[in-house]
Amino acid sequence: MSAHAATAHTAHTAHEHHETGFVRTYIFSTDHKMIARQFLFLGLFMMILGGLLALIVRWQLAWPETAIPGMGRILRETGGILEPSTYNMAFTMHATIMIFFVIMPILAGAFGNFCIPLMIGARDMAFPFLNMLSFWTTFTAGLIMLSGFFVEGGHAAAGWTSYAPLSAVAQYTGVNWGQNLWCISLFVMGVGSMMGSINYITTIVNMRAPGMHLFRMPLVVWSLFITAILLLLALPVLTSAVAMLLFDRTLGTSWFAPSGGGEPLLWQHLFWYFGHPEVYILILPAMGIASEILPVFARKPIFGYHAMAFSMIAIAFLSWVVYGHHMFVSGMSPALGMAFTVTTMIIAVPSAIKTFNWLGTLWGGRIQFTVPMLNAIAFVSMFVIGGLSGIFMASTPVDIYIQDTYFIVAHIHYVVFGGSIFGAFAAIYYWFPKMFGRMTNGVLGHLHFWGTFIFFNATFFPMHIIGVGGQMRRIYNPMQYEFLQHQQHWNVFITYSALLLGVSQIPFVINFFWSLFAGPKAPLNPWNANTLEWTAPSPPPHLNWGDRIPTVYRGPYEYSDPDAREDFLPQNQPPVGAGARRH
Amino acid sequence: MTPALQAPPRPPAERRTNGRLPPAPPDFGDDGDGEGEHGPRRGLDNLRLAVLFFMGAEAMFFGALISALLVLRLGMAAWPPPLEPRLPIAVTGLNTLVLLASSVTLVTAGRARRRGEPARHVRWLWGTAALGALFLAVQGYEWIRLIGFGLTLASGVYGTTFFALIGLHGLHVLAALVWLLVTTALVARGRFGEGRSAPVQACAMFWHFVVGVWPVLYFTVYLI
């Protein structure tokens, strides 16, 4: 690779060895790769917590009001039985943690930080100090969120959507400081993610290596670019909404309280105006990751590079005009509901373009079923199921009957677990060699993947069935409803599957930590991929490359070119003859 | 088929780039413009770009607040609600002119900077800060009077929206004022000399943004 690097043209003087102390290297680091690892560890830690919360919710639904094994020590007064208020808290915090402190930190935080500078050929982010501040702001938000579990009255229990007036008046849920801390935490998280997104956008606009045109950027960078723009513009709406909610609860304002002239529906408008772009914030990076991994392991160029980039741009635009489909039963005028149905159907088109292009990429490829590839294929297939059930929800006549049932629970988990989490696993397995300089174990990886894939489907697919059967989301005890009792066996089946889904994550944890310390050393380019991060050492040092940053000569997906010597052509490999003009 | 319609022969792979994209620029050597290793830049520098994006986020923040106000007041039979104090439209109108004038003085300061007159530059910057401070002082005085008349944050939706929107804007003016004062002090010490004016311009961008939001707020909160 040094031969390629030598053709980079501009002289660079910034490369020097920094001997920094432990604190500056591992804790208050301004290096984008260390910040990426910090986000990854934050997200994985929170994922364990969010997963355990889901399991206690599942236990309650399968075997209502029985003691949960191991919870006797935590729920002392009830001897391990989940009370309705605790149950509400558990599902509220499961969703809040998974969305804001697992998927966003892992996909946007960790892989945004890791991939953007390395894949566009920059030595670091545009504002390294702001980057560090962004992580520690998010970390503080996480601490505030966790502190809510220990306050009087318990944590927020009004659902992750925190609909007013339920969330706006403390007496309704009996939660006082829990909900306040929930608001404060999301406010702080909003500030942190704004810092991050400004950094990402500026870096991508201004810091690309020579020759890295916008349309030579890897698609994962495109997806993170668009995600950052959505984050930048959507999060401030949530920030102002949670500030209003907090003021209503603490300062006696009347945004959402009808007694003072407020309007409860206003919360839904503000929340979903943020909330729908948020859905794409969660899924777009995973789409980018799949677009990155499929060509590498199919040994084929991505099918329709420009269509992929433009469909992501289309999704970003359309995501602002579909939010009303979350509010079909809020008394919305049918004409407006129809308009939102149509826009929602339209947003399925760019998503379908992406799906067909992924399939086109796989078609006729020499597919290598590595662990990252399996996770990426799982992403595509699960995203298709989640996308199709989304069409049901988008159509008002159907939605009126299945809204707020387990059908929507199944839908969101197919998109956010089947989509985003499989995308996150794919990214972790794919970039682990570059991130930590060591290879992961394939056997444990396959074990983890197949367990997760099988039990994910066993957990969430039956939810479509019980949802159409009428089981409402967020109910405490399905056995209290006569019409739901005949399908209780499904709830038991789902809970067994969910427990096994949890068990399936054990190989991942073992694999992650074993590989971190004892995995075989990773070569420079273990997957024979084209993009620039594989030209830096594994793991890349501070400032990523040696004396010169790479120069880019071609797009990122030139695989299996019949005229090339090898089946891949790295982006920085100069065309023959271009090396003649050296300085 | 005529030769003109035949596809050109495929060059060997190492010579090709992807599709219709041109090959990498043959030479972006270091032309001594201090642009670093990323080749010559055409657009804004990082700092001003970041402030621009920050302004986008802030616009969404105020957009959410303004649309909340509109939703709430459309749901009310009478606006302002009966028995609530009336807002001081005339005084605030004059105050609006004060804030707009601060943008003009800032533009004048920028012109002085580009002409290379540092003393005038600093003088106009201090003038801008003084106008901003005057705006805040008048706002604060009017707030005290309104609270005296019984309009508070907790006195119903009218007080809620008024104090939240105007107060959050006031906080932004305060933050912009602190930023401007720090910048001006540094300019007065000669920190941002020839060709290093990006931080001054970034600060000016944010100031203009805060000024630009105000007429919208004045119109939606006070006038309609």
Closest residue to B29, CB basis, from A9, A262, A305: A9
* Structural domain includes residue A19: no
Look-up: residue for tokens 């003109």? B4
In tens, the pLDDT along B134-175 reads 999 999 999 999 999 989 888 889 999 999 999 999 999 999
| CATH code for position B164 | 1.20.120.80
State how many domains chain A has: 1
CA-atom Rg of chain B in angstroms? 26
In tens, the pLDDT along A450-469 reads 999 999 999 999 999 999 99
Residue A6 confidence (pLDDT) above 50: no
In tens, the pLDDT along A391-446 reads 999 999 999 999 999 999 999 999 999 999 999 999 999 999 999 999 999 999 99
Q: How confident is the model at residue A564 (pLDDT cuts 50, 70, 90)?
A: confident
In tens, the pLDDT along B26-71 reads 334 333 333 455 554 557 889 999 999 999 999 999 999 999 999 9
Tokens standing for A314? 């289309």
| A566 residue type, one letter | E
Q: What percent of chain B has pLDDT over 70?
A: 81
What would the mean pLDDT of A142-165 be, rounded to a whole number?
94
Residue B4 confidence (pLDDT) above 50: no
Note the pLDDT of residue A13.
Answer: 36
Backbone phi and psi for residue A472, each to the nearest 5 degrees, phi listed first: -75, 150
The average confidence (pLDDT) of chain A is 92
Crossing angle of helices A84-96 and A32-62, rounded to 10°: 150
Q: What share of chain B is helix, strand, coil (3-state, %, to 5)?
A: 70, 0, 30
- Number of neighbouring beta carbons within 10 Å of residue A513: 11
| A237 with B61: Cβ contact below 8 A | yes
Residue A165, preceding peptide bond in cis (omega within 30° of 0): yes
In tens, the pLDDT along A44-65 reads 999 999 999 999 999 999 999 9
* Structural domain includes residue B92: yes
The helix/strand/coil state of B102 is helix
* Structural domain includes residue B34: no
| A210 with B39: Cβ contact below 8 A | yes
* Structural domain includes residue B186: yes
What would the mean pLDDT of A293-307 be, rounded to a whole number?
96
Residue A397, preceding peptide bond in cis (omega within 30° of 0): no
Backbone phi and psi for residue A172, each to the nearest 5 degrees, phi listed first: -65, -40
Give dist(CA A121, CA A296) in Å, integer: 19
What would the mean pLDDT of A274-299 be, rounded to a whole number?
96
Tokens standing for B129? 């800060």
Give dist(CA A169, CA A259) in Å, integer: 11
* Structural domain includes residue A17: no
Give dist(CA A98, CA A107) in Å, integer: 12
Q: What percent of chain A has pLDDT over 90?
A: 85
Q: Which residues of B touch A216 (CB under 8 A)?
A: 18, 21
Q: What is the DSSP string of A35-57?
A: HHHHHHHHHHHHHHHHHHHHHHH
Residue A545 confidence (pLDDT) above 70: yes
**Segment among A19-28, A257-266, A502-511, B57-66 with least mean pLDDT:** A19-28
Q: Is B80 exposed, middle or buried (0-12, 13-18, 19+ CB in 10 A)?
A: middle
* Structural domain includes residue B69: yes
Q: What is the DSSP string of A472-533?
A: BTT-S-GGGSGGGGGGHHHHHHHHHHHHHHHHTTHHHHHHHHHHHHHSPBP-S-TT---SGG
Nearest Cα to A113, choosing from A38, A217, A47, A46? A38
* Structural domain includes residue A533: yes
Note the pLDDT of residue A257.
Answer: 87
Give A231 to chain B, closest Cα distance, Å. 9
E-strand stretches of A331-490: none
Backbone torsion region of residue A470, taken as left when φ is above 0, otherwise alpha when ψ lies between -120 and 50, otherwise beta: left
- What is the 8-class DSSP label of residue B7? P
* Structural domain includes residue B23: no
| B71 with A269: Cβ contact below 8 A | yes
The helix/strand/coil state of A405 is strand
* Structural domain includes residue B14: no
| A263 with B50: Cβ contact below 8 A | no
Residue A177 confidence (pLDDT) above 70: yes
Q: What share of chain A is helix, strand, coil (3-state, %, to 5)?
A: 65, 0, 30
Residue A9 confidence (pLDDT) above 50: no
Note the pLDDT of residue B75.
Answer: 85
State how many domains chain B has: 1
Q: Which residues of A touch B56 (CB under 8 A)?
A: 232-233
Note the pLDDT of residue A10.
Answer: 34
* Structural domain includes residue A26: no
Q: Which residues of A touch B81 (CB under 8 A)?
A: 261
Note the pLDDT of residue B5.
Answer: 52
Give A301 to chain B, closest Cα distance, Å. 10
Q: How confident is the model at residue B79 (pLDDT cuts 50, 70, 90)?
A: confident
Q: How confident is the model at residue A18 (pLDDT cuts 50, 70, 90)?
A: low
User: Do residues A458 and A489 touch, judged by C-beta distance below 8 A?
Assistant: no
* Structural domain includes residue A479: yes
| B75 with A263: Cβ contact below 8 A | yes
Give dist(CA A229, CA A226) in Å, integer: 5
Q: Which residues of B touch A255 (CB under 8 A)?
A: 68, 72, 157, 160, 164
In tens, the pLDDT along A72-103 reads 888 888 888 999 999 999 999 999 999 999 99
User: Do residues A300 and A367 touch, judged by C-beta distance below 8 A?
Assistant: no
What would the mean pLDDT of A26-40 be, rounded to a whole number?
94
Give dist(CA B107, CA B124) in Å, integer: 9
User: Do residues A325 and A399 touch, judged by C-beta distance below 8 A?
Assistant: yes
* Structural domain includes residue B61: yes
Q: What is the DSSP string of B55-94?
A: HHHHHHHHHHHHHHHHHHHHTSSSSSPTTSPPP-HHHHHH
Q: How confident is the model at residue B185 (pLDDT cuts 50, 70, 90)?
A: very high
What would the mean pLDDT of A368-384 be, rounded to a whole number?
97
| A239 with B61: Cβ contact below 8 A | yes
Give dist(CA A282, CA A286) in Å, integer: 8
* Residue-range definition of the domain harbouring residue B107: 45-223
Give dist(CA A288, CA A431) in Å, integer: 14
| A447 residue type, one letter | L
* Residue-range definition of the domain harbouring residue A275: 2-10+31-580
| CATH code for position A127 | 1.20.210.10
What would the mean pLDDT of A543-549 be, rounded to a whole number?
89
Reported as type and span, the H/E element at residue A345 is helix A334-362
| B15 with A127: Cβ contact below 8 A | no
Nearest Cα to A529, choosing from A400, A430, A410? A430
* Structural domain includes residue A15: no
Tokens standing for B23? 């090959």
User: Do residues A290 and A223 touch, judged by C-beta distance below 8 A?
Assistant: no
In tens, the pLDDT along A114-126 reads 999 999 999 999 9
Residue A540 confidence (pLDDT) above 50: yes
What sign results for the dihedral spanned by CA atoms A553, A557, A560, A566?
positive
Q: Which of A259, A273, A554, A581 to probe the B interface (max B CBs under 10 A)? A: A554
The helix/strand/coil state of B18 is coil
User: Do residues A100 and A188 touch, judged by C-beta distance below 8 A?
Assistant: no
Q: How confident is the model at residue A322 (pLDDT cuts 50, 70, 90)?
A: very high
The helix/strand/coil state of A10 is coil
What sign results for the dihedral spanned by CA atoms A302, A306, A311, A316?
positive
What would the mean pLDDT of B6-30 be, rounded to a whole number?
46
Note the pLDDT of residue B12.
Answer: 53
Give dist(CA A394, CA A526) in Å, integer: 43
Task: Search chain B and give the residue with CA nearest A261.
Answer: B157
* Structural domain includes residue B70: yes
Q: How confident is the model at residue A510 (pLDDT cuts 50, 70, 90)?
A: very high
| B38 with A244: Cβ contact below 8 A | no
Q: What is the ipTM of this complex?
A: 0.88
Closest residue to B24, CB basis, from A253, A301, A553: A553
| B12 with A127: Cβ contact below 8 A | no
